[in-house]
Structure 1
Amino acid sequence: MKRIALLASAAAVLAFGAGVATQVDAWGATGHRTIGVAAVRALSDELPAFLRTPGAAAEVGELSREPDRSRGAGQPHDRERDTAHFVDLDDAGHVMAAAGPTLDQLPVLKSEYDSALLAAGIKVDDAGYLPYAIMDGYQQLARDFAHWRVLNAAEASEADPGKRAWYREDRLRREALILRDIGYLSHFVGDGAQPHHLSIHYNGWDRNTPNPKGFTTSRQTHAMFEGAFTRRSTRLDAVEAAMPAPALDGFDLRARTAAYLTRTHATVTPFYELEKAGGFADSDPRGTAFATERLAAGAAELRDLIILAWRDAGTQSVGWPVIKVAEVEAGGADPWLAMAGED
């Protein structure tokens, strides 16, 4: 059965916890909020002050849910966006099957990825394109930061009151966009920490593949873990305590994305082993530790990508006529035409 159809039907009929229907897609509200809030709360003072506030953390936490909340708008909106939340890898790490690429073999463009899958006889919509959603979100955030850095520097140095007021207004608009775009990036980075979003075994062990260990094939597996279990067993403070230290050296976006998702793919079999051993029963510390570690991995990756996007922004050029961010911040260039527009 196709993944999207399966998730939609499951969301319609399954109920967990206190009889509340839980949508079977990505982390539930608790997981996505936790990842967004924990990441923003972990930002250092290298980042601008507007991001390092309780309000910003709460805003990102709520906006982290938005890619799920936009579902149901109709076609082509839904089909194009639904498949951004996952990439289904087989047990050897190939997209869907041995004919598919591995994560470190992905072409530069999503259109090239789609073509490669079709050439291998793999349906694009069945495979998903989560790596591209993460990379796209990072690049958008870096552009947001690049514009913000120019606007902030220009506002501080501009003598003309009218221009200074425009810079301020545009900076505030950009800050709202930055929070929104961090929320969207948070969602897809969070999806990338959930083992079911990296596997053909996305809702119970795939019944069309060998299952020598007798793992569950229940269609309730996905929602049970990321929704009801995560909601009742994880805490923000425990997730924050479990976040690894920042890893910011030697950054390459494509390699980093592949490595992050590969680490999550390595947790698929351990998840099913733990489920078989009863680790996701109420109050079982093994399941709580697993869910906490996965949320912490997502929050740490998001924290690092925000910092890296900020640094990346300082090397960029923006506007038209094009102007270098570093030159404006150094006081060596007037960005008015580049920012406000020449015509």
Structure 2
Amino acid sequence: MNIAPITTNAYTPRLRSNSIEKEPVLPSAPDRFECGHSHDQGEVQPDWGFQGHGLVQEVAAESLPEEMPEFFRGATERLVGLASQPDRWKARDLNYLKEATAVDHFMAYEQIKGHDLPGDRFDYVLMVEREGINAPGQPPKWVGTLPYKVAEQYQNLMLDFAIWRNEGQSLPADNPRRKALEENALLSGGLLGHYVGDAAQPLHSTIHHDGWNRHLPNPHGFRTKKGLHREFETQLVAATASEDKIKERVAPARQWSGDPLNWGLDLIAESNSQVERLYQLEKDGDINPRHPSDEGV
């Protein structure tokens, strides 16, 4: 397999007068989390699951099989450092980047369950608009595109590994070209880990992402007040999660095959199956960050 390097012509874009002309102001956040690696990920919003993403990335990186290239298996620190990178793109001042990528972090699975998803993300957005399957109270785009992002980022990583094997693997370990190709793969892998982590979080898979949707029936009297998302993925994780506890519960690795879009969708469906249970745990007080029960943890 021969893959030619991609080249572009440099140019200087002209920005409209209302475009960003200064560095964005990002919200502050802790520069470390309690796990095996203390790695500064920059200033990211704490409400976006900073610690949880770091733990997910670390446990995944340290569980890689030996068939993975050595440079990748030995780069836990770098992969952890990328764990919350996509959440940095949500900074309010980065208006173009924020609007273009925000929908990649979730999918309201209830709205698309039973529909055949097209392979093209833009055909999918048109389908949502055409068939009126948007979430109640939300514009069509907020059904979300997370499984598409998982598939796209997986193919980025697959391509980077292919280029590394064809153009970099035979070079000396300290060759700049080889190091650059390895860094490309680490970047793609680190970003993929973020979106897989999102897909594993039940509140990223549902129309009830931050309190039960007030536009829908609520026969069990689940919480509708906002703030649950932050309490669950940030405060509860900070109070209870550790690398050792997570490793005890990690399931055996699965060998995926077929269409990567289906992998992303399967992850979303699995997470969505836990949504009502999560809300019941919240109702029973089992996942209160201040005093969670054994059942909730």
User: 1:89 Cα shift?
Assistant: 2.6
Q: CA 1:47–1:188 in structure 2 vs 1: closer, same or farther (change >3 Å)? A: same
How big is the alpha-carbon RMSD for the aligned residues of Structure 1 and Structure 2?
2.1
Q: TM-score of the superposition, structure 2-length normalised?
A: 0.78
Deviations 1:262-303, CA, capped at 9 Å, x for gaps: 101101001001111111132421221xxxxxxxxxxxxxxx
> 1:247 aligns to what?
254
Q: How far apart in 2 are the matches of 1:70 and 1:255?
A: 26
Does residue 224 (structure 1) correspond to residue 244 (structure 2)? The answer is no
User: 1:226 Cα shift?
Assistant: 0.4
Q: How far apart in 2 are the matches of 1:59 and 1:115?
A: 37
Residue 229 of structure 1 aligns to a residue whose secondary structure is: helix
Residue among 148, 156, 170 paired with 1:140: 156
Residue among 32, 38, 44 paired with 2:53: 32
> 1:66 aligns to what?
85
Give the conservation status (yes or no) of the 8 Å contact 2:125–2:141: no
> 1:150 aligns to what?
166
Q: How far apart in 1 are the matches of 2:217 and 2:185?
A: 45
Alignment of 1:86-165 (within 5 A): 86-90=106-110, 94-95=111-112, 102=113, 105-121=116-132, 122=134, 123-155=139-171
Give the aligned residue type for 1:120: E
- Which structure dedicates a bigger proportion of its chain to helix? 1
Give the conservation status (yes or no) of the 8 Å contact 1:203–1:219: yes
Does residue 77 (structure 1) correspond to residue 97 (structure 2)? The answer is yes
Give the conservation status (yes or no) of the 8 Å contact 2:213–2:224: yes
User: 1:83 Cα shift?
Assistant: 0.9
Alignment of 1:257-272 (within 5 A): 257-272=264-279
Between 1:190-199 and 1:255-264, the stretch displaced more is 255-264
Give the conservation status (yes or no) of the 8 Å contact 2:168–2:178: yes
Deviations 1:97-124, CA, capped at 9 Å, x for gaps: xxxxx37621000010011011123333
User: 1:249 Cα shift?
Assistant: 5.5
Q: How far apart in 2 are the matches of 1:237 and 1:148?
A: 33
Does residue 176 (structure 1) correspond to residue 183 (structure 2)? The answer is yes
Deviations 1:132-187, CA, capped at 9 Å, x for gaps: 1100110000001001111344327xxxxxxx98xx32210011122211111111
Q: CA 1:84–1:249 in structure 2 vs 1: closer, same or farther (change >3 Å)? A: closer
Give the aligned residue type for 2:143: A
Give the conservation status (yes or no) of the 8 Å contact 2:157–2:189: yes
Give the conservation status (yes or no) of the 8 Å contact 2:150–2:260: no
Q: TM-score of the superposition, structure 1-length normalised?
A: 0.68
Deviations 1:170-220, CA, capped at 9 Å, x for gaps: 210011122211111111111001111111100011111111111111201
User: 1:255 Cα shift?
Assistant: 2.5
Give the aligned residue type for 2:295: R
Give the aligned residue type for 1:70: W
> 2:37 aligns to what?
none
Does residue 236 (structure 1) correspond to residue 243 (structure 2)? The answer is yes
Unpaired runs of 5+ residues, structure 1, are 1-11, 13-20, 96-101, 157-163, 289-343
Q: CA 1:212–1:283 in structure 2 vs 1: closer, same or farther (change >3 Å)? A: closer
Unpaired runs of 5+ residues, structure 2, are 1-26, 28-43
Bigger CA radius of gyration:
1
Residue among 212, 215, 223 paired with 1:208: 215
Q: Percent identity?
A: 28
Q: CA 1:22–1:69 in structure 2 vs 1: closer, same or farther (change >3 Å)? A: closer
Q: How far apart in 1 are the matches of 2:229 and 2:244?
A: 24
Q: CA 1:109–1:236 in structure 2 vs 1: closer, same or farther (change >3 Å)? A: same
> 2:39 aligns to what?
none
Give the conservation status (yes or no) of the 8 Å contact 2:58–2:80: yes
Deviations 1:290-330, CA, capped at 9 Å, x for gaps: xxxxxxxxxxxxxxxxxxxxxxxxxxxxxxxxxxxxxxxxx
User: 1:50 Cα shift?
Assistant: 1.3
Give the conservation status (yes or no) of the 8 Å contact 1:22–1:227: no
